[in-house]
Structure 1
Amino acid sequence: MSAPAPPVGRPVSTTDWARARELAQLAGTRHRIAATEQRTLAAALGAVLAGPLTALTDLPAFDTSAMDGWAVAGPGPWRLAGRVLAGRTPPPLADGWATEIATGAQLPPGATAVLRREHGERTGPQLRPGPAADPTPGQDVRPRGQECRRGEELLPAGTEVTPAVLGLAAACGYDLLTVRRAPSVELLVLGDELRTEGLPAPGLVRDALGPMLQPWLAARGAELPAPRAVRDDFALLRDAIRHSPAEVVVTTGATAAGPVDFLHAALAEAGARLLVDGVRVRPGHPMLLAELPPAGARGAARHLVGLPGNPLAAVAGAVTLALPLLAALTGRTGSAEPGGRCVRTAEPLPGHPADTRLLPVRLTPEGPRPLAFDGPAMLRGLALADALAVLPPGGAAAGDLVELLAVPR
């Protein structure tokens, strides 16, 4: 079968940038992954909690000392006896007695407070508080259950498992976490002109998108094989889309109306339904989102995100469509997708006359500042950027509130 010629000047019904992100999120929410799995703490990083994280124990699990010093019972002066170190179970402490104690050690039964080392005056077997340093009951003690009680909900379902979440789970006694199964994603890198190693050559360029997008999508909880290169051939592209077992297919390039931009035709033959076809954003306006017929053993609903081939434009497409879709598929909350944080500008930020613009910026104490090398085919500015500033048509004036989106890390 011969390749259909892409229609020259194909009319595109473009979508507002905010609406496009909303549609991507809705598509993922409709097909949210219900399957769960248990992972060790080491393997759970980046996944999403399938249910609330509840405390398996009180935190702290016992009264502990918040300082190095002495555990004391009653008012001073005190007679000294022994030492309590972390990891030991101390004997009871009688009224009028004190024992040396380390930070984090269990408070002896009967102790009423902790006297800091710098506040105590030791004379032989006797300990006195320094001037105005007599501890009040409970002073420098972390009481049992101060942070949480057993059975208390600590984090809601949908929370991303970050290093801090792992630390909290470990402190509560978890060895395994129940998380949502990661969505399967396949990255198809399109183009005859792409090289995967060595220097660019006449007519050939290095593939920058595979090395950048692959780890970025994986960090958002996706399960990916190695990127797959697809030549500029209609049948190859159609079959790659039709037979991909992934729940989300991400393509780079072929989204416009050039002589080898076969993506729209391939989607039509694969039985896809377009949800977003072009977005009013610069760079990256010829991006798309489509719903694909189910395929593979799982038989789950599938989606395709078509990113432009220019590197910065592809990043714009990823934050606009791919990341909100992935976040919704796993019920992810509290992440940079679909919304970011807002800050006030330090200076005017240039926008596009009619479309939303995503501009690489550095964050300073005064506010975001624009970076050079911000063209659709450039990555130099992005490599230096702390975020992408979301600018309305016409740009932003100094002091305006603008949204910031995370960049690949």
Structure 2
Amino acid sequence: MTTPWTLARQTARAAAKPLEAVELALGDALGFALASGVRALTSQPTCDTSAMDGYAVAGPGPWTVRGRVAAGDPVPSVRLGPGEAFVVATGAPVPDGSDAVVPVELCTVDGLPLTGLAVTGTSLAGKHVRRRGEDWSAGDELVPAGTTVSPAVLGLAAGAGHDTLLVHRRPRVAVVVTGDELLHAGPPRPGRVRDAIGPMLPGLLTGADLLGTTHLPDDPAALAGALGQDHADVLVTCGATSKGPADHLRHVLAGLGAEVLVSGVACRPGHPMLLAVLPDGRCVVGLPGNPFAALAAVLTLLHPLLDALGGHAGRPATTAHLTGVNAHPRDTRLVPVVLTGAEAVPVGHDRPGSLWGAALADALAVVPPGHAGGAVELLIL
């Protein structure tokens, strides 16, 4: 019995728990998922700080300048009284008693030397002063666990005082490509086709580490041996998922005592995709041998599984308005589209054995059974 497309994705995500946490230097954590939320180690700003180049002032003007402070200097040891000012740079700590910072371009200065200068201008209480803890207080959670570490997260973590981050280890993936008919170099010829899935897969393993790719003939013993690789968290097989005379995967999995969680998905292309768990907890994702069907299986089963293992939180769906596509009465269709504003436009060339349409597309539109037009979910390529 085939599994509905949405349920298949949910099953893949629920099939595994996040891998163990590791502590990485900030420069090594990009793309990993946080195993623990990022908390502020200090308040920001750590003291009252100037947001402009100008004069920190107390009370109404005119003001007499008592000194200057630059970014990186300690907090001045003086306290401003009414009618007093300090020359300040952007990012510099302002003296206690500062009511506001008047930008330098709004000031008129008379008299020399610096100490005792008379400054006139307009002060608005609190203007251009960033107060201590205005952005966050020490201990505040800034980013929750499960967030994918982006360049902005790295910068935020550094600004909050962190040198390392606790993240989930990336899943390790081994790929097994099967098929007597496959060529790995040169042009196709009668009876032989180029392997398109093997070259495609590494670029699709976002958030995972590829351990290597094994090429096998249609031999059940060889396939069983390849699935014994215990250093991989996920084994991805290409081909042998259907029920033809050369399709050995289901028989091999049964012999290994695997639990099959998804045995076919009600979608087009990719119907014979498969998800199983071996007795030792390693997961097997079976991709159909047709290249576009294999891509559909990666997006349907493999990506949700890798996200779960890597600890990544669920991501909000992207949608667009789709017209001009005939829905299937029972199966979900995955249709290559290009995006034009809020519209998704089919590109065609979407036969299961061809990646032509996918190569031209921005995304695959998810067209549920019976869809009569309107917004659909997008799987961004």
Q: Is 1:351 matched up with 2:336? A: no
The equivalent of 2:135 in structure 1 is 147
2:44 and 2:277 map into 1 onto residues whose CA distance is: 46
The residue type paired with residue 266 of structure 1 is V
Aligned equivalent of 1:126, options 111, 118, 138: 118
The equivalent of 1:341 in structure 2 is 318
Percent same amino acid among aligned pairs?
49
Distance 1:341 1:353, change over 3 A: same
The equivalent of 1:169 in structure 2 is 157
Aligned equivalent of 1:328, options 303, 308, 324: 308
The equivalent of 1:364 in structure 2 is 340
Distance 1:396 1:113, change over 3 A: farther
Which sits farther off after the overlay, 35-44 or 253-262? 253-262
Asked if the contact 1:349–1:369 (Cα under 8 Å) also holds between the matched residues in 2, the reply is no
Q: What per-residue deviation string (whole Å, max 9, x for no partner) do you get for residues 216-261 of structure 1?
A: 32x22x2321222222222111211134432211112221233422
The residue type paired with residue 46 of structure 2 is A
SS at match of 1:242: coil
| 1:175-254 map, 5 Å | 175-200=163-188, 203-217=191-205, 219-220=206-207, 222-254=208-240
Asked if the contact 1:340–1:406 (Cα under 8 Å) also holds between the matched residues in 2, the reply is no
The equivalent of 2:298 in structure 1 is 318
Asked if the contact 2:177–2:237 (Cα under 8 Å) also holds between the matched residues in 1, the reply is yes
Asked if the contact 1:253–1:307 (Cα under 8 Å) also holds between the matched residues in 2, the reply is yes
The equivalent of 2:263 in structure 1 is 277
The equivalent of 1:390 in structure 2 is 366
Asked if the contact 1:73–1:93 (Cα under 8 Å) also holds between the matched residues in 2, the reply is no
2:152 and 2:174 map into 1 onto residues whose CA distance is: 29
2:108 and 2:353 map into 1 onto residues whose CA distance is: 70
The equivalent of 1:401 in structure 2 is 375
Q: What per-residue deviation string (whole Å, max 9, x for no partner) do you get for residues 28-65 of structure 1?
A: 24xx43x2211111111122222222111112222222
Aligned equivalent of 1:36, options 21, 37, 56: 21
**Shift in Å, 1:293:** 2.0
SS at match of 1:226: strand
**Shift in Å, 1:82:** 5.1
Q: What per-residue deviation string (whole Å, max 9, x for no partner) do you get for residues 147-200 of structure 1?
A: 211111222222222222211111111111112222222122222344445554
The residue type paired with residue 103 of structure 2 is R
Q: What per-residue deviation string (whole Å, max 9, x for no partner) do you get for residues 312-338 of structure 1?
A: 222211121112222223432143xxx
2:246 and 2:104 map into 1 onto residues whose CA distance is: 76
SS at match of 1:403: strand
Asked if the contact 1:348–1:396 (Cα under 8 Å) also holds between the matched residues in 2, the reply is no
1:279 and 1:394 map into 2 onto residues whose CA distance is: 17
Q: For structure 2, which runs of at least 5 residues remain unmatched after alignment?
A: 112-116
**Shift in Å, 1:201:** 5.2
1:386 and 1:146 map into 2 onto residues whose CA distance is: 41
SS at match of 1:28: coil
2:104 and 2:305 map into 1 onto residues whose CA distance is: 55
Distance 1:367 1:94, change over 3 A: same
Q: TM-score, normalised by structure 1?
A: 0.83
1:350 and 1:127 map into 2 onto residues whose CA distance is: 74
Asked if the contact 1:186–1:250 (Cα under 8 Å) also holds between the matched residues in 2, the reply is yes
Distance 1:198 1:68, change over 3 A: farther
Q: What per-residue deviation string (whole Å, max 9, x for no partner) do you get for residues 68-123 of structure 1?
A: 33332332222346544332325246333334433333333332212234433344
Give the number of aligned pairs: 374
The equivalent of 1:4 in structure 2 is none
Asked if the contact 1:292–1:304 (Cα under 8 Å) also holds between the matched residues in 2, the reply is yes
The residue type paired with residue 401 of structure 1 is A
Distance 1:69 1:186, change over 3 A: same
The residue type paired with residue 141 of structure 1 is V
Distance 1:404 1:69, change over 3 A: farther
Asked if the contact 2:264–2:271 (Cα under 8 Å) also holds between the matched residues in 1, the reply is yes
1:111 and 1:146 map into 2 onto residues whose CA distance is: 16
The equivalent of 2:114 in structure 1 is none
Asked if the contact 2:322–2:375 (Cα under 8 Å) also holds between the matched residues in 1, the reply is no
The equivalent of 2:12 in structure 1 is 24
Q: TM-score, normalised by structure 2?
A: 0.88
What do you get for the CA RMSD once the two structures are aligned?
2.5
